Amino acid sequence: MDNNKRTEGDINSTPERKKWDAKIDEETRKLLEKDARYFLHQSMSTPCLDVLQHCEGAYIENLSGKKYLDFHGNNVHQIGFSHPRLIQRITEQLQTLSFSTRRYTNEPAVAFAEKLASLAPSNLNRILLTPNGSSAVGIALKLARAITGKHKVVSFWDSFHGASLDAISVGGESVFRDRIGPLMPGVVRIPPPVEYRGIFEGNEAKSLEYLEYVLSKENDIGAFIAETIRNTDVQIPSPNFWKTARQLCNKHGVLLILDEIPIALGRTGKMFAFEHYEIEPDILCLGKGLGGGIFPQAAIITRDDYNQFGDISLGHYTHEKSPLGAAAGLTALEILEEERLMEKVADDAVFMREELKKLSQKYELIGDVRGIGLLWGVELVENRQTKEKAIDAAEQVMYACLEQGLSFKVSAGNVLQLSPALTISRDDLKKALQIVDKSLAIVQHNKKNSR
């Protein structure tokens, strides 16, 4: 497989995958074969690893009753899976108003929008709701064009902003764009700030210089869209980067769209990741865990100043003001606050940093550890000096962890991305890291013996 497309290491036909498939029980195998027969195959989704029957808290469970600590969760599990309060609230809403016909509103939707506005700073008080994150990005791009009258967009290579045609147009991962073009015109991609590896490795000033150069040369750029913190392989810019980027957008009349679909809602230890940087976006995109891991719910938040386009349909989705989605979203936000999950995540981050540092000192396979809150990346390398990606080793570690009941994704071919439910107990965090420790030991031992 082309390593540029090796964004997640669990969907492949390698020897490790074949070993995994050989151990699947007959009931599971039959369902997996039906899944492969009826669903259209696509990268990163098929063939499936296992068949699930239950999820609760920090765990998912397969047909045979095996439980996995889910450190992936598609980034929807901030409040854990199947939170009882959320299930109760959605069930209650189903008994009264299950759908809201367009051009009517409803109390849950209004309360949800009011809550989102109350959480955002200054005049970020205007909301549009939509069923998924890709649509939120699409709304943001349309709104930016309407506000500025300019159609071009700056984005980062290797970024992910969703899977719809407009979202992959501004995204930077090749696995989503190959054989799909022509894409939306007017997108200018630049290299991202990356501390470990990359064109501007450890030199954010060059990335900012590149951004300023592009903004000064392209006068019809209306927006800069970026993940505040890159989720997939956990790239964390410095406060200086985002403060300077915000200033550059102001200078050149460019709107800053921050995509926090996977990383907002407490994942970084704050409600929104941009709060770490003391900046504000002009448009904020939210999704994934916004529906509490049960209902698909996304949103954009923007400024009162931009409420100027009552004659344009910016979103206009069938389930725009879903009473169920709004009830789920409002309840998820309440749970985050009332269970003080942001404070818990800040404490968990200290534990994760200390424990992962110990692992990096123990295993020469680990080239870099980086993270914030409960979002961590462990980058595996063949050699710490050359930083050659240890792609096969990363996959082997992943399957060794799966065997022991820990699920996560491998990003960029060699980064173990660890992203558990924010409700996870300290004992389960310890258990997960013990599994990673044991798996690294197995793989490193096997590598040495094969030389």
Give the pLDDT confidence score for residue 12 in this predicted structure. Answer: 65
* Cβ atoms of residues 325 and 295 within 8 Å: yes
The amino acid occupying position 321 is K
pLDDT tens digits along 176-209: 878 888 999 999 999 999 999 889 999 999 999 9
pLDDT digits (tens), the chain, 451 positions: 555 555 555 556 788 989 999 999 999 999 999 999 999 988 888 889 999 999 999 999 999 999 999 999 999 999 999 999 999 999 999 999 999 999 999 999 999 999 999 999 999 999 999 999 999 999 999 999 999 999 999 999 999 999 999 999 999 888 887 888 899 999 999 999 999 988 999 999 999 999 999 999 998 999 999 999 999 999 999 999 999 999 999 999 999 999 999 999 999 999 999 999 999 999 999 999 999 999 999 999 999 999 999 999 999 999 999 999 999 999 999 999 999 999 999 999 999 999 999 999 999 999 999 999 999 999 999 999 999 999 999 999 999 999 999 999 999 999 999 999 999 999 999 999 999 999 999 999 988 887 6
How many whole angstroms from its chain centre is CA 409? Answer: 12
Element (H, E) at 112: helix 107-119
> How far is CA 414 from each of CA 47, 114, 144, 327, rounded to the nearest angstrom?
20, 42, 35, 39
What is residue 179's predicted lDDT score, i.e. its pLDDT?
A: 84
For residues 289 and 332, the answer to whether their CB atoms sit within 8 Å is yes
Token readout for 251 is 């200078």
Alpha-carbon Rg for the chain, nearest whole angstrom, is 22
What are the φ and ψ backbone dihedral angles of 128, each rounded to 5 degrees? -130, 135
End-to-end CA distance of the chain: 24
pLDDT of residue 181: 84
Diameter of the chain measured on Cα atoms:
68
Q: What is the helix (H) or strand (E) element at residue 377, kind and residue range?
A: strand 375-380
CB 422 within 8 A of CB 266: yes
Predicted local confidence at residue 6, as pLDDT: 58
C-alpha–C-alpha distance, residues 37 and 33, integer Å: 6
Q: Six-digit token pair at 41?
A: 């195959």
> What is the C-alpha to C-alpha distance for residues 37 and 40, in angstroms, rounded to an integer?
8
Determine contact, residues 290/79, Cβ cutoff 8 Å.
no
